[in-house]
Amino acid sequence: MLHVSMVGDAFAEVDATLITIDDATLVCWSAAGEEPVARYGLEQVLSVQLVQPLVAEPEPEPASSRSSPEHPNAFRRWTPEQEAAVVEAYHRGDTFEQIAAAAGRRVGGVRARLIALGLIEPEATDRLRFPVAG
């Protein structure tokens, strides 16, 4: 949206995304750009001001860039109930992906918890933040 100020306290609010000057005429164009949406003689125009950003503001980052909608519990402390549910799912034979989805955590977080509980052995690709006995 543009605010066009003109001589004599006149003004116009114009929904335009492009301004051109053609033969002493200010021409305002819409986003489609097929037809001008407004024309003003340059001798009448005092200023043109952007009223509203033409580009949407970027979405704010989540509070923790490490968590996500798919993993709402990622990087949060484990409760005893969550640990029990993960252990039960592991003993039931669920895949790590299934366990992680049910727990709202990442596969690496589930594997790390099962390693910490002594239920599985760490593999070379596991990134651990605690010492492993051995």
Instruction: Kindly state the average pLDDT of the residues 61-68.
Output: 54
Name the β-bridge partners of 41: 25
Overall pTM > 0.85:
no
The DSSP output letter for 78 is P
Domain ranges of the chain: 1-48, 68-133
> Which residue from 8, 18, 4 is spatially nearest to 51, judged by alpha carbons?
4
**What's the whole-number average pLDDT of the chain?**
83
Cα–Cα distance for residue pair 31/72, rounded to 1 Å: 39
Name the β-bridge partners of 13: 3
Question: CA-based angle 26:32:33, to the nearest 5?
Answer: 30
Give the confidence band of 122 by pLDDT, cuts at 50, 70, 90: confident
Over the stretch 51-62, which tens digit does the pLDDT of each residue have? 866 556 666 555
Instruction: Kindly state the average pLDDT of the residues 34-51.
Output: 89
Which residues fall within 8 angstroms of residue 72, CB to CB, at 6 or more apart? 104
